[in-house]
Amino acid sequence: MDVDRLRVLLNQKQIADKVAELGAHITLDFAGESVVLIGVLKGATIFLADLARQIKLDATFDFIAVSSYGNSREQSGEVKLLKDVDHPMEGKNIILVEDILDTGLTLTYLKNQMMGHKPKSLKIAALLDKPSRRRQPIRGDYVGFEIPDEFVVGYGLDFAERFRNLPEICVLETDGNSS
Ligand code: IMP
Ligand code: MG
């Protein structure tokens, strides 16, 4: 049987400091304007909740859902929209809020999808980035941490829906997969 082991990669203070930095950056970039934070369910919810409180602007929330990895760690290559935004986005400053940029397939799909709503601007905020895994040439506008190619959980990120409630971001080491 697999034994899960968690190794802390980013602690609560490191995350909080970085989220405050990203919020301050967004606040400056959109001074005098309103923004819509669009969270990608479910992984981005905790990041969005913390980031939103560091953005000192007129802000609203919306959420979208896409098909996920299921219980596997690998991206199937196919992204499907399961839930669209609830409100019209035409003329809005959209910030897509995502937990992690991995292959880039999800955000490439969502970016194209959201452009169809004719926003005024469209930016990407991702707490984590695994640039070495990229299969689509996409980059985040507000990126928290670049991390190595390891599977991480916590602070919203899951493995088979578990571990989202961990306050830290941890590498999930499974027997046979650890050094
Ligand atoms: P992408 O389409 O490959 O960029 O994948 C993005 C999505 O994959 C994220 O929203 C996460 O749900 C999931 N994902 C990618 N890497 C990890 C990881 O290390 N841990 C947990 N989920 C991940
Ligand atoms: Mg996700």
Q: Would you say residue 101 has pLDDT above 60?
A: yes
Q: Which long-range contacts (CB under 8 A, 24 or more apart) does 145-149 make?
A: 145/10, 145/18, 147/9
Residue 141: pLDDT band (50, 70, 90) is very high
Closest atom of ligand 1 to 150 CA is 19
Which residues are designated catalytic?
102
Q: Would you say residue 81 has pLDDT above 60?
A: yes
Starting from the CA of residue 64, give the closest ligand: 2
* Ligand 1 site, residue 151, Cβ cutoff 6 A: yes
Q: Output the CA 9–ligand 1 centroid distance in Å.
A: 16
Residue 76: pLDDT band (50, 70, 90) is low
Residue 52 to residue 73: CA distance in whole angstroms = 28
Residue 63 to residue 84: CA distance in whole angstroms = 7
Residue 109 to residue 78: CA distance in whole angstroms = 9
H or E element, residue 16: helix 12-29
Residue 79: pLDDT band (50, 70, 90) is confident
- pTM across the whole model: 0.92
Closest atom of ligand 1 to 101 CA is 4
Residue 4: pLDDT band (50, 70, 90) is confident
Q: Would you say residue 73 has pLDDT above 90?
A: no
* Ligand 1 site, residue 144, Cβ cutoff 6 A: no
* Ligand 1 site, residue 100, Cβ cutoff 6 A: yes
Q: Output the CA 27–ligand 1 centroid distance in Å.
A: 26
Tens of pLDDT, residue by residue over 111-138, are 999 999 999 999 999 999 999 989 889 9
